[in-house]
Amino acid sequence: MKNFSFQVPTKIIFGKNTVKEIGKEAKLYGKKVLVIYGQGSIKRNNVYNIAIESLKKAGLEITEFSGVKSNPVISHVRAGIILARKSKVDFLIGIGGGSVIDETKAIAAGILHNGDVWDFFSGKSIVKKAMPVLDVLTIAATGSEMNAYSVITNEETRRKNGFISSYFYPKVSILDPTTTYSVPSNYTAYSSVDAICHLLEGYFTHKDNWAPIQDRYVEGLVKTIIEATELILKNPQSYKGRSTMMWAATLAWNGLSVAGVGKTTSPNHMLEHSLSAFYDIAHGAGLSIVLPAWMTYESIKENSKFVQFAENVFGIKTSDKNKTAADGIKAFKDWCQKIKSPVSFSEANLPITELEDLAENALETAKLWGIKGYVKKDIIDIYKLCL
Amino acid sequence: MKNFSFQVPTKIIFGKNTVKEIGKEAKLYGKKVLVIYGQGSIKRNNVYNIAIESLKKAGLEITEFSGVKSNPVISHVRAGIILARKSKVDFLIGIGGGSVIDETKAIAAGILHNGDVWDFFSGKSIVKKAMPVLDVLTIAATGSEMNAYSVITNEETRRKNGFISSYFYPKVSILDPTTTYSVPSNYTAYSSVDAICHLLEGYFTHKDNWAPIQDRYVEGLVKTIIEATELILKNPQSYKGRSTMMWAATLAWNGLSVAGVGKTTSPNHMLEHSLSAFYDIAHGAGLSIVLPAWMTYESIKENSKFVQFAENVFGIKTSDKNKTAADGIKAFKDWCQKIKSPVSFSEANLPITELEDLAENALETAKLWGIKGYVKKDIIDIYKLCL
């Protein structure tokens, strides 16, 4: 194993009827709170009412900021910072999925920053302080509820960038699986692929030739997410499925899967961020397109880890390593199609006219994230496998 | 899944040459520190020198308290509290294995308690505050470095009791696998069984009929600990083996294996604590005796989970469920014998004359811990399987 440091201080409150606990937790962080949410789904499924009532009962003074979109944008973050400063809030609560939590984190850091909040995402500044963030999670996918990441899109420059800071760990995350009952089947499928991709980025890119703790952790969670997704798609109100999916997605990207394996990279997120930045495609749907293509491309260079994946996740065993690796990738791609997550640009109705620009955008991400080994031609070749 | 709350704030610093980081971390917690250690093995393997030098460099004023024994005793805890108060320390650092860390936690709470520190362990008081605890781990086994437990033995009353408190999470734990190179093969074996037992307590006692996240987590770690132990016994300086064992043992008992599965109990710890309290046997060696016996006893009542264990951990598959379950337990018992961890009272040279007293002692633990379903005869029957 390689040296590492691990500390995830977030308090997780998980289970049925836990949304109403937000007030009790929140009042430890101040008097005035900015409550941030998205396009209003939390009003339709009653999460909004329960949370606001709990916060009012706890005596908190609430300012609301809504309209966060999937692939949250920097202009909206800036508007949130202005409102938060004007309202003199002490802390923030995001109610929603990963986009809402990511934006809440960005606002929490931006409030205390002398300069434009995009500075963090462009690599110009690092976060030196942030207001406390709490959240009520309503979509199981990104893991933002228990990690230090925030990903924001700059609509003007067509850049979707991420930033990592220990200040971004939420203080408290409330995970009530019943809040995800109303997530439609397409977003459920995209979310599953997102969580699986979080696990596989590290799994396929670490160079440790013996990492049984981390590899088994990943393989176990990938199998579990596949099973839970199928339960949910059969019955969207399967508590078994929704609860298992929710905790698995959190565990998929909280740092445990990569602690000790040394350097890992996120090439699939690199490739996907450009798709989201250009076409505003749902993140999980974008990953579902690039992941099988990237796996195919990489397995041609070196396939031992893809053989392990095929054997341990899909139970595939043939006498031919190349065939085993290819069968494993195909099994995963078939599964994405089975759950109706797109595996090509055409299935997602994306135009195919900007491969060069896309590749340049992805290369810029590669530079920012320190991902080596890809020149423009490689990236175009992978994108071509997505056609 | 069942509702749960999860928060493990401990900062883990893992890897080669990390002991020297203790000073930098420690100085955040005060000026005066009580450094607690055991019988002197840390002087022989140089960990003491590196840690003390680092603490001095950081400008800390050090008081030392040594002599912690395996199965740490309350009289020594009391002596530590007196010294800590006299020295007016701000915080504590344990350097050693689980026994040292457990005693450090007990002293940290006892200093601030108006009354006898045994009150916590007898169930008379709960911990309401404690001084910060940091540690440098030198034996991979108990998981105390990333959990909220402390287990102390009262030599007078022959009680080995545990206490759990969120104040007992260490602030910082430094895990340098090379510090465990000098752990002898017998203690290495006991430690492996200890860590496996931590995983299996929850696995075999939870009642969730579908817990793929937690069950796969446990099965993966048990297989990993078995593999790592064999690497270490072949070569005590196998960094691969020692590092994998160290992180696996930490993950085995930090709450993740049972988060979400509902109520679990620790019947094997219940049975073992009496052995340690009566005969001062190494904890892992005691567990190695009772665990196969307990598994045999329980599998006769209901064997489905033992079938799963046999199949998923040892790859056993027969057409007869009873045979599969029995073969799995036998495979585990055989493995304990292979690594020379005792599986019977006679192998550990324990007397067999006090079964009644042992059973009564264990029943008292059952009462304290809320373990139901065992009367005296059951416990005697399980102990008889250990003869």
- The most distant pair of C-alpha atoms in chain A lies apart, rounded to whole Å, by 67
Residue numbers in B near A228 (CB within 8 A): 212
Residue numbers in A near B16 (CB within 8 A): 3
Nearest to A1 among B4, B8, B247 (CB): B247
What's the mean pLDDT in B34-57? 97
Give the span between the Cα atoms of A26 and A82, in whole angstroms.
22
Note whether B16 contacts A: Cβ–Cβ < 8 A.
Answer: yes
Name, in order, each residue with C-beta under 8 angstroms of A33's C-beta and a sequence gap of 6 or more.
A26, A55, A60, A61, A62, A63, A89, A90, A91, A92, A93
Q: Which SS3 state, helix, strand or coil, does residue A265 take? A: coil
Note whether A288 contacts B: Cβ–Cβ < 8 A.
Answer: no
Question: Which pLDDT score is estimated for A353?
Answer: 87
The yes-or-no verdict on residue B140 having pLDDT over 90 is: yes
CB–CB of B220 and A216 under 8 A?
Answer: yes
- The pLDDT tens digits of the residues spanning B201-251 come to 999 999 999 999 999 999 999 999 999 999 999 999 999 999 999 999 999
> pTM, whole model, 2 decimals?
0.98
Give the span between the Cα atoms of A6 and B14, in whole angstroms.
8
Residue B300: band (very low, low, confident or very high) from pLDDT cuts 50, 70, 90: very high
**If you measure CA to CA, which chain B residue comes closest to A3?**
B15
Give the span between the Cα atoms of A303 and A296, in whole angstroms.
9
Give the span between the Cα atoms of A86 and A11, in whole angstroms.
29
Question: Which pLDDT score is estimated for B107?
Answer: 98
Kindly list the averaged pLDDT for each block of 10 residues, start to end, along chain A of length 387.
98 98 98 97 96 98 97 97 98 98 98 97 95 98 97 95 96 98 97 98 97 98 98 98 98 98 97 95 96 98 97 97 98 98 97 92 95 96 96
Give the span between the Cα atoms of A244 and A240, in whole angstroms.
6
Nearest to B2 among A15, A224, A260 (CB): A15
Judge whether A253 and A198 are in contact, CB under 8 Å.
yes
What percentage of chain B exceeds 90 in pLDDT? 99
- The pLDDT tens digits of the residues spanning B237-260 come to 999 999 999 999 999 999 999 999
The average confidence (pLDDT) of chain B is 97
User: Given strand A32-37, what is the order of strands in its sheet?
Assistant: A61-65, A32-37, A91-96, A133-137, A172-175, A4-14, B4-14, B172-175, B133-137, B91-96, B32-36, B61-65
Note whether A11 contacts B: Cβ–Cβ < 8 A.
Answer: yes
Note whether B227 contacts A: Cβ–Cβ < 8 A.
Answer: yes
Note whether A337 contacts B: Cβ–Cβ < 8 A.
Answer: no
Phi, psi (degrees; rounded to nearest 5) at A334: -60, -40
B positions 162-201 inside 8 Å of A (CB): 177
**If you measure CA to CA, which chain A residue comes closest to B248?**
A213
The tokens for B370 are 């809320």
Note whether B11 contacts A: Cβ–Cβ < 8 A.
Answer: yes
Name, in order, each residue with C-beta under 8 angstroms of B273's C-beta and a sequence gap of 6 or more.
B151, B160, B161, B162, B361, B362, B365
- The most distant pair of C-alpha atoms in chain B lies apart, rounded to whole Å, by 67
Distance from CA of B260 to the nearest CA of A (A): 8
What's the mean pLDDT in B156-165? 94
The yes-or-no verdict on residue B353 having pLDDT over 90 is: no
Note whether B18 contacts A: Cβ–Cβ < 8 A.
Answer: yes
- The pLDDT tens digits of the residues spanning A27-86 come to 999 999 999 999 999 999 999 999 999 999 999 999 999 999 999 999 999 999 999 999
Domains for chain A: give ranges and CATH numbers. Answer: 11-179 (3.40.50.1970), 183-384 (1.20.1090.10)
Note whether B249 contacts A: Cβ–Cβ < 8 A.
Answer: no
**If you measure CA to CA, which chain B residue comes closest to A16?**
B3
In a mutational test of the A interface, the residue from B2, B4, B20, B227 whose CB has the highest number of chain A CBs within 10 Å is B4
Nearest to A213 among B4, B216, B221 (CB): B221
Place of tokens 């599965």: B261
Question: Which pLDDT score is estimated for B193?
Answer: 98
Judge whether B335 and B328 are in contact, CB under 8 Å.
no
Nearest to A14 among B9, B251, B260 (CB): B260
CB pairs under 8 A between A and B: 111
Question: Which pLDDT score is estimated for B352?
Answer: 80
